[in-house]
């Protein structure tokens, strides 16, 4: 089943860092992202943040490594319950 059809009636979010958001208009096919609500995290402030990317998280999941240091348990459960990234 296609992820778009599985969640077609759900509100969708695209989470990214402010550093990437500044250049989003240069992304290939960025117009396709307009259907998402954006959550932009400030990576340029002085608070402590983890240097992590979605690619790293997906690779951890694929390799069956623990992602709890990056992702809250509630999100991990959602990923598991919806079979995302497996």
Contact 43, 49 (CB under 8 A): yes
The two structure tokens encoding residue 39: 């959550």
| 1-21: pLDDT as tens digits | 566 677 778 888 888 888 888
Alpha carbons within 13 angstroms on the beta-carbon side of residue 67 total 23
Q: List CB contacts of 68: < 8 A, sequence separation 6 or more.
A: 76
Strand ranges, E, within 22-76: 37-41
For tokens 């990317």, name the residue. Answer: 53
| 16-72: pLDDT as tens digits | 888 888 888 898 888 888 888 888 888 666 556 667 788 888 889 889 999 898 888
Question: Cα(71)–Cα(37) distance, rounded to whole angstroms?
Answer: 20
């Amino acid at each position: 089943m296609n992820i778009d059809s599985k969640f077609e009636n759900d509100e969708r979010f695209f989470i990214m860092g402010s550093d990437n958001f500044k250049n989003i208009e240069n992304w290939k096919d960025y117009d396709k992202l307009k259907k998402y609500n954006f959550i932009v995290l400030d990576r340029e402030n002085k608070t402590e943040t983890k240097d992590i990317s979605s690619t790293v998280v997906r690779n951890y999941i694929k390799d069956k490594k623990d992602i709890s240091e990056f992702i809250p348990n509630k999100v991990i459960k959602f990923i598991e319950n919806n079979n995302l990234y497996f």
